[in-house]
Amino acid sequence: MKFECIKGIADSDNINVIAMQGDIVIFNESEEGNVYVEGIAGWCKGFELNFTPKQFTEHFKSIGLTYTI
């Protein structure tokens, strides 16, 4: 599943950029309060990142999904 960054995020010290708005990541796994993703486009391309569930839901949205009701 792919996700797009909707709100840029920096590290806890506000020194390093983690992801910029518009970056694309793919979901790898979720365990023990961490969401693991891999950057595939944009600033975070090529990096494996982990976020708390709260950070992930505040900074990313799912893309490429179609629903039939």
Q: Is residue 69 part of a domain?
A: no
The confidence band for 41, taking pLDDT boundaries of 50, 70 and 90, is very high
Q: Which of 12, 6, 50 is nearest to 28 (CA)?
A: 50
Q: Is residue 22 part of a domain?
A: yes
Q: What is this structure's pTM?
A: 0.87
Q: Is residue 68 part of a domain?
A: no
Q: Are strands 60-63 and 2-5 parallel, antiparallel or unpaired?
A: antiparallel
How many structural domains does the chain have? 1
User: Which two structure tokens, joined as six digits, stand for 7?
Assistant: 């709100």
Q: Is residue 59 part of a domain?
A: yes
Q: Which domain holds residue 46?
A: 2-63
The confidence band for 12, taking pLDDT boundaries of 50, 70 and 90, is confident
> Within the chain, where are the H helices?
53-59
Average pLDDT, the chain: 94
